[in-house]
Structure 1
Amino acid sequence: MEDKKRGAERTQPATRDEFWTDERIQSFLGMLPPEGVPADYHVLLKAYRGMLPDAFERFVPFFVEAGRDINVKLGDGSTFLDHVARHRKSVPYMEILEAAGAVRSR
C-alpha cells in the first residue's frame, strides 16, 4: 500500500474558494457505505472530510430534509458529533451539527 502523501508530494492541488452547487452538495447523499458502517454516518463523514464549513452548513439541511439521522450511532454507541468533537479545528462543524439537533453520546 502506498504511504499517505503530504504537502508538495500531493498530485492533486488543494482547492480553495471553490463554489459548490446545490447539486454537488446533494450528491453526497447518494454515497454508499462500506460494509458494517451505517449509511448516514458514512455520508456525514464524507461530507465533513470533503467540505469546508460553508458547504457543510448548506449540506446538513439537505441531509436532515432527506430523513437522514443526524444522531446516527456506531456500534460502540458514539455519534457523529462525538467523532467531530475529537478534532482540533472542528468547532464550526460542531456548531452546524448542534444547530441541526446533533448530540453527543457521552
Structure 2
Amino acid sequence: MRKDKQKVIGEPMTDEQIAAFLSARPYAGESVEQHILTRAYRGLRAHDFERFIDMFRQEGFDLDARDAQDKTFLQNIREHAQAEDYIAALERAGAH
C-alpha cells in the first residue's frame, strides 16, 4: 500500500442500515426483543450497536425482555469472551 493511502476497514453505516435490524422477527417461540438484539449483536460493530440501542428503545422495545430461560440479553452475552464493548453499551443504556 502506498504511504499516502490510508487503510479503510468497513464503511460507516447509515442510520437506515442500522435501523434495518429493527425489522428482524423470530420464526416462532422466541422473544421478539431477544431476536432483534441477537441479530444486531451479531451483525453490527460495537459503536454501531450502541447507535442501534437508542433506536431500539425509541421504538418501544424492552432491553430487559427475557428469553425462554428467563435471562435478559445482557445476561446471555456476559458469557461471551469478546462482548465487553457491547456489554458496556447495554449497561450505559440501562439494561440489566
TM normalised by structure 2 equals 0.88
The residue aligned with 1:20 is 13
Secondary structure of the residue aligned to 1:70 is coil
Q: How many angstroms apart in 1 are the aligned matches of 2:84 and 2:27?
A: 27
Aligned match of 1:84: 77
Higher relative contact order (CA 8 A, sep 6+): 2
CA RMSD of aligned residues (A): 0.8
Q: Which residue of 1 aligns with 2:49?
A: 56
1:64-88, CA deviations, whole angstroms, 9 ceiling, x for partnerless residues? Answer: 0110010010122111001110100
Aligned-partner SS, 1:69: coil
Distance 2:29 2:92 in 1: 28
Q: Percent identity?
A: 36
Query: What secondary structure sits across from 1:89 in the alignment?
Result: coil
Q: After the TM superposition, which residues 1-106 of structure 1 pair with which residues of structure 2 at under 5 Å, given as runs? A: 16-103=9-96
Separation in 1 of the partners of 2:66 and 2:79? 16
Which aligned runs of 4 or more in structure 1 are off by greater than 6 angstroms? Answer: none
How many angstroms does 1:54 deviate by? Answer: 1.1
Aligned residues: 88
* Normalised TM-score (structure 1): 0.80
